[in-house]
Structure 1
Amino acid sequence: MKLKGKVVVVTGAGSGLGQALTLELLRRGARVAAVDLREEGLLATRQMAGGLAGGLSLHPLDVTDREGVEALPVEVERVHGQVDGLVNNAGIIQPFKRLQDLDYAAIDRVMRVNFYGTLYMTKAFLPRLLKRPEAHIVNVSSMGGFLPVPGQTVYGASKAAVKLLTEGLWAELQGTSVRVTLALPGAMRTGIAQHSGVEAPGAQGEVKVPILEPEQAAKILLDAVERDAFRVLLGQDARTMDLLYRLSPLYATRLIQSRMRHLLSS
């Protein structure tokens, strides 16, 4: 779907990848309904948009609030007159703990934001998207959705659920006007730990993780949307580990465990 002239809803638009996607969409001539839990983040996005902010609307919202999410399509259509695309980007990580040490409140929070937030938004907007001549849904999963990372087991489970939800949705929507893209980012400079209220352990030893800037990731992802790609891997680490995991799941799992074991050393 070509993005110029389209109206796209972006969650998690107050920081990181969501903010970069919002700004890049505006640069490509789209209008954006920016959604985020934190109003201050949305205001920062609007300030960064500068002269393009006329095509931007701000919608402070908790994506785990199903009633609030179900009211959002009417609000977006009231402002923009239509909805052509949805980017489910909002997400959080878990505290860096083993599953046995993770309390149920943290587990529930991760699953509600990452999986149910994506599900609620998709269910709310899909009926309207199906009425458009062409439309697009992007769900942001994670490299952690296909590759287990020590200390992020529940986060990985939530993103694996997003991955399968997206792939199933792609299959169900064949023959309709709605295309679907699955995004699988690797390490990115997004501030997700801070916004998740989680203390991220620093890198140790010889481990060097390539970091993708969100602005670059946004361009790659939106290029994929414009060519109606089924899936897009964001970052060299995601591409490398995707290949390794396809060749040998056990080898890839052992490799990431050996390189990331310091996350659980304390």
Structure 2
Amino acid sequence: MQVADKVIVVTGGGSGIGRALVLQLLAKGAQVVAVDLNAESLEETGRLARAGERLSTHVLNVAHREEAEALPAAVVARHGAVDGLINNAGIIQPFARVNELDYVAIERVMEVNFYGTLYMTKAFLPYLLKRPEAHIVNISSMGGFLPVPGQSLYGASKAAVKLLTEGLYAELLGTPVRVTVVFPGAVATNITTNSGVEVRQSEGRRSSLKPLPPEEAARRIIAGMEQNRFRVLVGSDARLMDFLYRLAPAWATRFIQRQMRSLLGG
């Protein structure tokens, strides 16, 4: 689906990949509905966009079903229709083993990453099915197909997004709605801050792999959407680990475990 002249909802639009998606979609001629929990960062996105009536901003928590269910009517009232949904909002967990995580942290990650994606999809899908063409893009993660010690619940939530999206793709074949799942690798965003996760100095050591700028990640996501691609791997690390995990999953898992060992205290 070409994004020009379409109305597209972007969650997590206040920063990082979400903000880059908002700005690039506007630059390509779309009307954009930017959604975020953080009112201040969402306001900054609006200032950067300078898009006038083509941009509307909505402060809400995607993990609250009632808020998600109320949004489509507000979008249609403001923009006249809705043609696309990019479920980008997400958080990571504290860097800890499953045995060390409390249920508050576990439930928060699942509620935002999986249920937030599900609530938004369920809320908007009836509207999208009425359009001549429409598109749903769900952002999973490299951690959604590759186990990352210390982020096991985050990975589980993103694996759930992966399977949900692939199931939607199959269910919606023959309808006007196309579906894409995205697997970003390392992207230079402030997700740790937005997730309320502290990174100790020893955990912040430089990686030999330079994270992808959010603007480039957004460009590749939009390109995948416009090409109606089934899956999009964002970043050389995501492409490499996708290949290695398919080729030798146990070896790839041990490789990632060695990389994460210092974060887990040995």
Give me the TM-score of the superposition, normalised by structure 1.
0.97
Q: Tell me how far 1:223 sits from its aligned partner.
A: 0.7
Q: Tell me how far 1:204 sits from its aligned partner.
A: 4.2
Is the counterpart of residue 178 in structure 1 residue 177 in structure 2? yes
In 1, Cα distance between the equivalents of 2:52 and 2:229? 28
* Matched residue, 2:191: 192
Letter in 2 for 1:158: S
SS in 2 for 1:86: strand
In 2, Cα distance between the equivalents of 1:66 and 1:139? 17
Deviation digits for residues 142-182 of structure 1 (CA, Å, limit 9, x no counterpart)? 00001111110000000000000000000000000000000
* Matched residue, 2:41: 41
Q: Tell me how far 1:5 sits from its aligned partner.
A: 0.1
Per the alignment, do residues 53 and 214 of structure 1 end up closer, same or farther by CA in structure 2, a change over 3 Å counting?
farther
SS in 2 for 1:19: helix
In 1, Cα distance between the equivalents of 2:179 and 2:52? 27
* Matched residue, 1:263: 263
Contact 1:137 1:181 in 2 (8 A): yes
Is the counterpart of residue 137 in structure 1 residue 109 in structure 2? no
Q: Tell me how far 1:87 sits from its aligned partner.
A: 0.3
In 2, Cα distance between the equivalents of 1:39 and 1:204? 31
* Matched residue, 1:32: 32
Is the counterpart of residue 155 in structure 1 residue 154 in structure 2? yes
Is the counterpart of residue 126 in structure 1 residue 138 in structure 2? no
In 1, Cα distance between the equivalents of 2:204 and 2:101? 22
Letter in 2 for 1:135: A
SS in 1 for 2:120: helix
Per the alignment, do residues 89 and 98 of structure 1 end up closer, same or farther by CA in structure 2, a change over 3 Å counting?
same
Contact 1:69 1:121 in 2 (8 A): yes
Is the counterpart of residue 219 in structure 1 residue 219 in structure 2? yes
* Matched residue, 1:77: 76
SS in 2 for 1:208: coil
SS in 2 for 1:187: coil
Letter in 2 for 1:231: R
Is the counterpart of residue 60 in structure 1 residue 59 in structure 2? yes
CA RMSD of aligned residues (A): 1.1
In 1, Cα distance between the equivalents of 2:113 and 2:225? 21
In 2, Cα distance between the equivalents of 1:39 and 1:77? 21
Letter in 2 for 1:73: P
Letter in 2 for 1:196: S
In 1, Cα distance between the equivalents of 2:68 and 2:56? 16
Q: Can you give the 5+ residue segments of structure 2 that lack an aligned partner in the other structure?
A: none
Contact 1:210 1:236 in 2 (8 A): no
Contact 1:210 1:237 in 2 (8 A): no
Letter in 2 for 1:182: V
Deviation digits for residues 187-223 of structure 1 (CA, Å, limit 9, x no counterpart)? 1111000000001243448x52330100001011101
Q: Can you give the 5+ residue segments of structure 1 that lack an aligned partner in the other structure?
A: none
SS in 2 for 1:136: strand
Contact 1:150 1:263 in 2 (8 A): no
In 2, Cα distance between the equivalents of 1:193 and 1:53? 31
Of all paired residues, the percent bearing the same amino acid is 62
Letter in 2 for 1:242: D
Give me the TM-score of the superposition, normalised by structure 2.
0.97
